[in-house]
């Protein structure tokens, strides 16, 4: 059987592309190397509870906001979304001080300007830039290109330099950056475009799922199957075979080969290049460029099983920093001094949460000793490292959540875990490192030198649920046309 579209990988980007194209009449096949689809949205089960691997909250779901139209089309608005606190959906604790991010641009401005009255003018300029960013994220898909000329400017501007030049108070810079553990804060490279995107949609409105990220996965997977698409798991693609300048079929670890007219890769671009063993179209210059791209750091995660009725559910995300060094605390091997604390909505209707996740950045250098090992076979030194980091995360979180003590169970993961389960190079949390000094090289196009091979996923334009969704529509616009995409977005 020959498919219209074969998608390599079933992370969020692959599932969204599969859903969109299947809904528009393409016969779609998704090939997934793991035992279940979902990538970083997968949930795993321990002791009767489901734990998320990478999803915690999302922004911009209200009517007219930046993600509403896309999620409506994808059938995701009907999931049990729960809105976080209006007056403090994110809270940043630096030392012994606490600052709150309110939902809505005006409320966000007012709350922070009360804390930093001398910075009112600069804060207003910043809020206007956030609004502009939210409005322009989809503009590049406009059939007439309206607004697309504004995007490269922010791509080529340093986020750190912008903050340093526009705000006089170093503490405010740390506060504005403090919720950005959901991106790689790196002074040397982070573009203002990425920084604005990583904050604007959450300020529009912020939401958690009452349940795990697998609800998103299952909704998209069911939609694909309902429109005639297929998803095959335990089918790792080992080669993409090219003939006469076009890909013709995928060879998989299950012994099968699948023919297709169009191929979309949702895996890392460097891995994609390695699957094409021989090509008349993909020259060494392109391969070397892609393989040479740097990856963002990974994350260390502690998932805690909270004893019954010991911790009241809190309807916000808490970012705790021991000291005001938000941009640099993760760059050496000192004890953990910054952590994101997020709790699971009680599904039993009680006031108490049963799960808390703690996340902190972890570089590949911290993992390199165990580079050649696999899950469960890393040895005592690795276990000691995880136990030490977990205790440091818990100790830091306890400064504001003293109830976090005497936990019966905890589960930890490192970039090595992410690499082994998802095959993401270096366990990168946010994909290819975007660099304001070289935006044309690090912000990747869905197109490749092979005319019937497209890319999608967090390595291209933006990461996170919001960014990957935006990128999936970019990829599908290459197939269905910008006019089709814009018609959907105009209904937001």
Is 358 within 8 Å of 304 (Cβ atoms)? Answer: yes
Higher pLDDT, 105 or 254: 105
> Which one has a higher pLDDT value, 486 or 442?
442
Q: How confident is the model at residue 332 (pLDDT cuts 50, 70, 90)?
A: low
What lies within 8 Å, CB to CB, of 23 at 6+ separation is 223, 227
Domains of the chain: 2-63+68-76+212-294+429-489 (3.50.50.60)
For 353, what's the count of Cα atoms within 13 Å in the CB-facing half-sphere?
24
State residue 212's pLDDT score.
87
Q: What is the mean pLDDT of residues 223-240?
A: 96
pLDDT band per the 50, 70, 90 thresholds, residue 333:
low
C-alpha 43, offset from chain centre: 15
pLDDT digits (tens, 9 = 90+) for 92-144: 999 889 999 999 999 999 999 999 999 999 999 999 999 988 877 777 777 77
DSSP 209: E
Is 297 in contact with 415 (CB distance < 8 Å)?
yes
Residue 401 has pLDDT above 60, yes or no: yes
Confidence check: pLDDT of 152 > 80: no
User: Residue range 274-300: average pLDDT?
Assistant: 94
pLDDT band at 325 (very low <50, low <70, confident <90, very high): confident
The answer on pLDDT for 314 being more than 60 is yes
pLDDT band with cut points at 50, 70 and 90 for residue 148: very low
| Residue 286: closest CA among 48, 410, 449 | 449
Is the pLDDT score of 150 beyond 50?
A: no
Residues near 98 by beta carbon (within 8 Å), at least 6 away in sequence: 91, 92, 400
- Decide which of 491 and 433 is more confident: 433
d(CA 284, CA 275): 14
Segment holding 342, helix H or strand E:
strand 338-343
Evaluate if residue 45 carries a pLDDT over 80.
no
* Range from 161-165, 216-220, 396-400 carrying the lowest mean pLDDT: 396-400
């Amino acid at each position: 059987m020959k498919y219209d579209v074969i998608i390599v990988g079933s992370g969020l980007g692959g599932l969204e592309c599969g859903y969109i194209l299947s809904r528009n009449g393409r016969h779609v096949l998704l090939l997934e190397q793991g035992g279940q689809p979902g990538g970083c949205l997968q949930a795993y089960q321990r002791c009767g509870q489901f734990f998320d691997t990478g999803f915690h909250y999302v922004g911009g779901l209200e009517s007219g906001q930046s993600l509403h139209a896309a999620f409506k089309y994808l059938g995701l608005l009907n999931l049990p979304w729960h809105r976080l606190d209006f007056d403090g959906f994110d809270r940043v604790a630096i030392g012994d001080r606490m600052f709150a991010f309110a939902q809505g641009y005006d409320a966000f401005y007012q709350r922070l300007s009360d804390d930093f009255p001398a910075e009112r003018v600069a804060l207003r300029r910043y809020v206007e830039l956030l609004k502009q960013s939210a409005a322009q994220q989809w503009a590049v898909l406009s059939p007439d290109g309206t607004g697309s000329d504004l995007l490269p400017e922010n791509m080529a501007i340093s986020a750190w330099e912008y903050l340093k030049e526009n705000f006089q108070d170093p503490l405010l810079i740390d506060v504005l950056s403090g919720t950005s553990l959901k991106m790689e804060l790196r002074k040397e490279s982070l573009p203002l475009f990425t920084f604005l995107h990583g904050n604007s949609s959450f300020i529009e409105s912020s939401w958690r799922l009452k349940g795990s990220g697998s609800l998103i996965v299952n909704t998209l997977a069911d939609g694909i199957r309902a429109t005639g698409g297929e998803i095959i798991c335990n089918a790792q693609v080992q080669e993409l075979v090219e003939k006469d300048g076009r890909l013709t079929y995928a060879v998989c670890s299950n012994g099968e080969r699948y023919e297709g007219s169009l191929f979309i890769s949702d895996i890392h671009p460097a891995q994609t290049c390695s699957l094409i063993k021989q090509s008349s179209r993909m020259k060494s210059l392109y391969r070397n460029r892609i393989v040479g791209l740097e990856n963002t750091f990974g994350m260390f995660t502690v998932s805690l099983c909270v004893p019954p009725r010991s911790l009241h559910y809190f309807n916000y995300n808490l970012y705790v920093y021991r000291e005001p060094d938000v941009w640099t605390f993760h760059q050496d091997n000192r004890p953990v001094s910054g952590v994101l604390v997020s709790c699971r909505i009680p599904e039993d209707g009680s006031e108490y949460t049963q799960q808390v996740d703690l996340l902190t950045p972890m570089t590949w250098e911290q993992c390199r000793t165990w580079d050649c090992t696999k899950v469960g076979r890393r040895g005592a030194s690795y276990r000691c490292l995880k136990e030490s980091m977990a205790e440091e995360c818990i100790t830091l979180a306890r400064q504001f959540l003293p109830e976090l003590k005497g936990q019966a169970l905890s589960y930890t993961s490192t970039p090595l875990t992410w690499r082994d389960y998802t095959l993401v190079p270096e366990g990168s949390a946010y994909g290819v490192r975007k660099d304001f000094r070289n935006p044309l090289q690090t912000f990747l196009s869905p197109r490749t030198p092979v005319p019937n091979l497209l890319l999608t996923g967090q390595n291209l334009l933006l990461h996170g649920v919001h960014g990957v969704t935006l990128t999936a529509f970019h990829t599908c616009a290459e197939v269905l046309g910008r006019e089709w995409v814009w018609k959907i977005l105009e209904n937001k």
